[in-house]
Structure 1
Amino acid sequence: MSKLDEVAKLAGVSKSTVSRVINHSDTVSAQSKQKVLEAMQSLQFQAQELKRSSDNSGMIGVVLPFGKQIMSQSFGIDLLAGAEEKAFENDYMILIGNSVGGREQMLTAKMMQRGAEGLIMLIGGGRPGQKEHLKSIQAQGMPVVLVDQKVEGIDTHLVRGDNFMGAVTLMEHLFGLGHERIGIVSPNKHFTHKERIKGYRYALLDKSLRMPDRFELLVEGEGANVEEPLERMLVDADRPSALFVTSPGLLMGVMSVLNRLELRVPDHISIVTFDEVYGNFPEEHQDMFTAINQSGKQMGGMAVELLFQHSRNPEQEYQEIVLPGKFTIRRSTGPVQG
C-alpha cells in the first residue's frame, strides 16, 4: 500500500482527495481537508513525501454495452462524449470498456488495477452476481456512478432520465388527440422500461381507462420478436388507435407489422416512443416519431461531475439526479379517426 493509500484509508477519503489536499486545491471541503491533515500527522507523513509517492492517475473508467457495432448516433457515444468533455475540462482522461458478453467484472478489475479513480457504469439489472460485484467495488473504496439504469438494492450515485414522467407526457399527448384505446409495446427487463410501463399504466388509471390485457405487449428484450403477437393485437376491429413503443429498437418491427396490415401512420394508428434521435431508421422513417428524447451527453457530463463532487466530499449522501427529456412532436401522431 502506498503512503497515499495509507492516508486515504485512515482519513476515510479517496486518494484523489488526499492528492488535492497536498497540492493545496481549493475544491476540498474543510471537513475532508481536516481529516487528511490529521491522518498525515498520525502517520507522520509530510506533504512532499506524499507527492513523491502519489499515484493519482487522473483517469476515470467508463463501462457500458456497445453491442455488436458502435454507431456514431447512439446513446452510448453521446454518453462518452459528455463524460470525456467534462473529464478533459478537469485534466482527466477516460478509460473505455465494452461490457457486452458479461465482461463487467473483468473490465472494472483492470481499470482499478490501472489506477482509475472512479467508475461510470451503464448496466442492466438482473444479471447473477451483479449486486455483489458492485458492492465489492464500493467496499474497495472505488466511487461508482450508475447511468440510465438503476440497480435495485445498491446505494450509489445515479444519473438517469425521468422515464415515468416522460411516459405520462406521451400518454397525455395522445389523450389530447382523442385517443382512449392505447396499446404498449415494451421490453420489461430493465429499470428504464419498467418505469415507462408504470407511467403508461398510471396515465390510464388517472383517466379511469382500462385496456384489454392484450394491449400490453411486454417482451424480454429489444431483440425479441414482437411481430406475431403485435399482429394479433392489431387484426381485431377493436384494435388500439395508438401505440406507445417504449424503445426505438422495437420500432422497425412495429412498422413492419403496420405495413403488412396496411395501417398508415398516423391516419390509422398513432405512435409515440422514447429516444427517437438514437434510432437507426431507414430514410423514410427519419424525423418521424413523436418522442421523449434524452441526452446521453448531458448524463455523461453529469456523471463525471458527481465523481468530482464525491472526491471533494466522500461523506456526502448518494445523489440520484433525474434529468427530464425533451418532448418533440413529429408526424407519427394525429387525431383519432372515427
Structure 2
Amino acid sequence: MSKLDEVAKLAGVSKSTVSRVINHSDTVSAQSKQKVLEAMQTLQFQAQELKRSSDSSGMIGLVLPFGKQIMSQSFGIDLLVGAEEKAFENDYMILIGNSVGGREPQLTAKMMQRGAEGLIMLIGSGKPGQKEHLNNLQAQGMPIVLVDQKVDGIETHLVRGDNFMGAVTLVEHLFGLGHERIGIVSPNKHFTHKERIKGYRYALMDKQVRVPERYELFVEGESAGIEEALERMLTGAERPTALFVTSPGLLMSVMSVLNRLELRVPEQISIVTFDEVYGNFPEEYQDMFTSINQSGKQMGGMAVELLFQHSRSPELEYQEIVLPGKFTARRSTGPAQGM
C-alpha cells in the first residue's frame, strides 16, 4: 500500500481527496481536510512525500462526440481544453471518450472502473435509452454535468449557452437593418436548436411580424434534403430578404443554393448564424458570417468547476449555468433591399 493509500484509508476519504489537500486545492470541504491532516500527523507523513506518489491525481471522465475527424477549431476541442485546464489546476486528469456510435454506456462504465469521480457529457438529446443510462449513473452516485444539451426528464447539473436570447439578438439585428421577411433554416431535433427556433419566433412575435410557414425550413441531420427545399423557399413570391441559419454545419449547403440562384450576400440576402468560429469553411467564407459565438472552453472549465462544487457539497441542488454568447457583426449582413 502506498503512503497515499495509507492516508486515504485512515482518513476515510479517496486518494484524490488526499491529493487535493496536499496541493492546497480549495475543492475540499473543511471536514475532509481536517481528517486528512490528522491522518498525516498520525502516520508522520509530510506533504512532499505524498506528492511524489505516482498516482496522486484524481480523474474526471469527459464523453463527447468527435465524429470521424477531430478538427483543431471545433467546439469539442475547446470544451476539452477548458475542462483540462481547470482540472489540471486542481491536480486532476481528464479521461476522454468518443461517444460516436452510441458508446456512452461502455465508455462511462470503463471510466468509473478507472476511478473517475465525475462525468462531463456532451450528448445529443432524444437518443433511445439515453434517459435510462443517465438515471443508472445517478443511481450509482456518479456526479454528472451535461454540457450544451439538456435531456428531458433528467435532473442534473448543466452548463449551456443562451440559445434563446442569442437567437433573439440575431433576429433583432436583422430588424435593425430593415429586414422583416426573415426565414429560418435549422435542425429541429436537439434542445439547442429548439431553443434557437423559439428565440426566432419570439423575436418575430415581439415585433408583430408574421411570415409565411414556408419561411421555416427544418431538416433532419445537418443537410439532408435542404437544398431542394431551400430553393423552393427562395424562388417563390416575396422570398426572404434574410436567413437565420441556426447551425454552422448548414451554411455551406445554404451558400451553394444562393450561388446557384445568383443571390448575392449581403446585397440581396443577409445571413446570420450561431458559432461561426467553429465552422469548417473554405477560405472565401472565413470571417464572413454575422454570428453569436459560444465558448466551448468556458463551458468546459465551468463544467469541471461544477463537479468540484458538487464534491465539496454533495447535497448541492442541481445547477443550470447559462452562459451568454458573443455577438459579432460581419460581412454577411446588410440593409434590406430598397433601403
**TM tier, smaller:** 0.7 to 0.9
Name the residue aligned to 1:72: 72
Q: CA deviation at 1:164?
A: 0.2
Matches within 5 A, 1:1-338: 27-30=27-30, 58-338=58-338
Question: Quick one: structure 1 residues 77 and 305, their matched pair in 2 at CA, closer, same or farther if it must change by over 3 Å?
Answer: same
Question: Quick one: structure 1 residues 90 and 184, their matched pair in 2 at CA, closer, same or farther if it must change by over 3 Å?
Answer: same
Amino acid at match of 1:105: P
Name the residue aligned to 1:42: none
SS of equivalent to 1:303: helix
Contact between 2:249 and 2:279, CA under 8 Å: does it hold in 1? yes
Contact between 2:20 and 2:90, CA under 8 Å: does it hold in 1? no
Contact between 1:22 and 1:47, CA under 8 Å: does it hold in 2? no
SS of equivalent to 2:117: coil
- How far apart, CA to CA, are the structure 2 residues paired with 1:128 and 1:5? 41
Q: CA deviation at 1:223?
A: 3.8
Contact between 1:131 and 1:153, CA under 8 Å: does it hold in 2? yes
Task: Structure 1: give runs of 5+ residues left out of the alignment.
Answer: 38-45
Contact between 1:32 and 1:313, CA under 8 Å: does it hold in 2? no
Amino acid at match of 2:66: F
Q: CA deviation at 1:109?
A: 0.5
Contact between 1:14 and 1:141, CA under 8 Å: does it hold in 2? no
SS of equivalent to 1:265: coil
Tell me the alpha carbon deviations over residues 26-77 of structure 1, each in whole angstroms, 9 at most, x when there is no partner: 643457779x89xxxxxxxx986xx9xxx87511110000111001110000
Question: Quick one: structure 1 residues 317 and 107, their matched pair in 2 at CA, closer, same or farther if it must change by over 3 Å?
Answer: same
Contact between 1:248 and 1:279, CA under 8 Å: does it hold in 2? yes
- How far apart, CA to CA, are the structure 2 residues paired with 1:104 and 1:223? 25
Question: Quick one: structure 1 residues 95 and 237, their matched pair in 2 at CA, closer, same or farther if it must change by over 3 Å?
Answer: same
Contact between 2:121 and 2:145, CA under 8 Å: does it hold in 1? yes
Amino acid at match of 1:104: E
Amino acid at match of 1:204: L
Name the residue aligned to 1:41: none
- How far apart, CA to CA, are the structure 2 residues paired with 1:20 and 1:98? 28
- How far apart, CA to CA, are the structure 1 residues paired with 2:16 and 2:184? 47
Contact between 1:150 and 1:191, CA under 8 Å: does it hold in 2? yes
- How far apart, CA to CA, are the structure 1 residues paired with 2:18 and 2:314? 11
Aligned length: 325
Q: CA deviation at 1:225?
A: 2.5
Question: Quick one: structure 1 residues 309 and 259, their matched pair in 2 at CA, closer, same or farther if it must change by over 3 Å?
Answer: same
Contact between 2:23 and 2:91, CA under 8 Å: does it hold in 1? no
Name the residue aligned to 2:46: none
Q: CA deviation at 1:221?
A: 1.7
Amino acid at match of 2:201: R
- How far apart, CA to CA, are the structure 1 residues paired with 2:139 and 2:122? 19
Contact between 2:25 and 2:90, CA under 8 Å: does it hold in 1? no
- How far apart, CA to CA, are the structure 2 residues paired with 1:194 and 1:187? 8
Contact between 1:28 and 1:313, CA under 8 Å: does it hold in 2? no
Contact between 1:56 and 1:115, CA under 8 Å: does it hold in 2? no
SS of equivalent to 2:97: strand
Could you say what the CA RMSD is over the residues aligned between the two structures, in angstroms? Answer: 2.9
* TM-score of the pair, normalised by structure 1: 0.88
Contact between 2:82 and 2:299, CA under 8 Å: does it hold in 1? yes
SS of equivalent to 1:117: strand
- How far apart, CA to CA, are the structure 2 residues paired with 1:248 and 1:165? 18
Runs of 4+ in 1 over 2 A off after TM superposition: 2-8, 13-34
Q: CA deviation at 1:237?
A: 3.0
Task: Structure 2: give runs of 5+ residues left out of the alignment.
Answer: 44-49
Contact between 2:193 and 2:246, CA under 8 Å: does it hold in 1? yes
